[in-house]
Amino acid sequence: MIPALTSLLLAATSPAAAADLPPDQIPIDCGPCAGWNRDQAPFRIIGNTYYVGVHGVSSVLIKTRAGLILLDGDLPQSVPLIVAHIRALGLHVNDVRWILSSHAHFDHAGGIAALQRLSGANVAASTVAMPVLQTGLLPADDPQYDAGKGQRFPPIAHVSPVLDGETIRLGEVTVTAHYTPGHTPGGVTWTWQSCDNLRCQDIVYADSLNAAPSGRFRFDDPARHPNPATVLRHSIAVVRALRCDVVISVHPEFTDVFAKAAANAADPAKNAFLDATACRRYADDADTRLNAELQREASAH
């Protein structure tokens, strides 16, 4: 076991003073952060795909013949838990070859710098998110810019840009980037397949489609072209139209991830994650929230 990993695993079980931690693992303090970072035992979602995140923020692992792909790194303080979860599955963080980012907010990208340092993996994100990840600073056109000024996250040393529709291949698995801006300017939804002898299932790691502005940001802003509501509406339509047998959202409660895992534990003969309507329902819920936000903005102005 390498020394850095030893200290990580110790940190997972005993609270370490922030001064003892490397800079990219110093905890971010936010209202819901402690609840989000509650531990969550890892589990298989389907075939090659596992949940290794914490209770309130998703991190998903894809196992391939040529190594591992990790989607998102959660909070900086989630890193020792994610490392321990990968280990509990009999796998090793050293075998992570790619870390793919959904969107550049502290609760999904905050752990990526440390996970890249530990694994040596490549990090991939949209061309728009790349400079955000490399600085840890939100751009002024991010809907949470006003709140985000105090929520910088550890900058990521090297980020590879992926274009909309571009793929990343590792072993037998191909992961496709679908740009889904709106919650952030550079958000990406990622898709891949899990195949057995009988058939392949389409898996969607759905980025946030939440109209969640802070401060003065307005989704119905006549001064912005294109209008942020139009941008988000288009991304919602992109997710609704995806080939989708399994959906996992970046915050697990939006797609009932743990209820499905519990159903699988109770009845292993069926897989509750298989639901051809799940992406459409996720998109419908996002539409409802956007409509409510537009109503709130209209009544406030």
Which residues sit at the interface with Zn ion, rule CB under 5 A?
105, 208
Residue among 144, 136, 216 nearest 184 (CA): 144
* Minimum distance from residue 107 beta carbon to Zn ion (Å): 6
First to last CA, the chain: 58
Are 146 and 172 within 8 A, CB to CB?
no
Two structure tokens written together for 25 = 């693992």
* Minimum distance from residue 106 beta carbon to Zn ion (Å): 8
* Minimum distance from residue 159 beta carbon to Zn ion (Å): 18
Strand order in the sheet with 167-170: 167-170, 173-179, 188-195, 200-206, 246-249
Look at the chain and count its residues: 301
* Minimum distance from residue 264 beta carbon to Zn ion (Å): 27
Of the pair 129, 204, the CB lying nearest Zn ion is at: 129
Could you tell me which residues come within 8 angstroms of residue 213 by beta carbon, excluding any fewer than 6 positions away?
A: 143, 144, 219, 293
Pairing of strands 49-51, 160-162: unpaired
* Minimum distance from residue 248 beta carbon to Zn ion (Å): 16
Of the pair 43, 153, the CB lying nearest Zn ion is at: 153
Are 45 and 278 within 8 A, CB to CB?
no
Q: In Å, how far from its chain's centre is CA 43?
A: 17
Minimal CB distance to Zn ion: which residue? Answer: 105
Q: Report the sign of the C-alpha dihedral through residues 24, 43, 181, 293, in that order.
A: negative
* Minimum distance from residue 238 beta carbon to Zn ion (Å): 17
* Minimum distance from residue 46 beta carbon to Zn ion (Å): 25
Of the pair 67, 252, the CB lying nearest Zn ion is at: 252
* Minimum distance from residue 208 beta carbon to Zn ion (Å): 5
Two structure tokens written together for 244 = 């989708």
Residue among 164, 167, 213 nearest 187 (CA): 164
Of the pair 46, 212, the CB lying nearest Zn ion is at: 212
Residue among 38, 42, 162 nearest 99 (CA): 162
Separation between Cα atoms, residue 257 and residue 223, nearest integer Å: 38
Of the pair 194, 208, the CB lying nearest Zn ion is at: 208
Question: Roughly what angle, to the nearest 10 degrees, separates helices 112-119 and 79-88?
Answer: 50
Of the pair 193, 208, the CB lying nearest Zn ion is at: 208
Of the pair 67, 110, the CB lying nearest Zn ion is at: 110
Of the pair 159, 209, the CB lying nearest Zn ion is at: 209
